[in-house]
Homo-oligomer: A and B are copies of this chain.
Amino acid sequence: MLRLSKKTDYALLAVRHLAANADRGAVSARELAETYDIPPELLAKVLQKLVRGRLLESQQGIRGGYALARAASAMSVADVIQAVDGPLMVTACSEEDHSCDQYSKCNIRDPLWRIKDRIIATLAATSVAELAMEMPAPLPPLPSGVMPMQMVKRP
Copies of this chain per assembly? 2
A88 to B36, CA, bound (A): 25
A19 to B11, CA, bound (A): 42
- In contact, B108 and A13 (Cβ under 8 angstroms): yes
- In contact, B108 and A130 (Cβ under 8 angstroms): no
A118 lies within 8 A of chain B by Cβ: yes
Q: Which of A1-56 contact B (CB under 8 A)?
A: 1-6, 9, 12-13, 16, 35-38
Smallest distance from the beta carbon of A131 to chain B beta carbons, Å? 5
* Residues on B with beta carbons closer than 8 Å to the beta carbon of A152: 114
Question: Which residues of A pack against B, CB within 8 Å?
Answer: 1-6, 9, 12-13, 16, 35-38, 77, 81, 85-92, 100-102, 105-108, 110-112, 114-115, 118-119, 122-123, 126, 130-131, 134-135, 150, 152
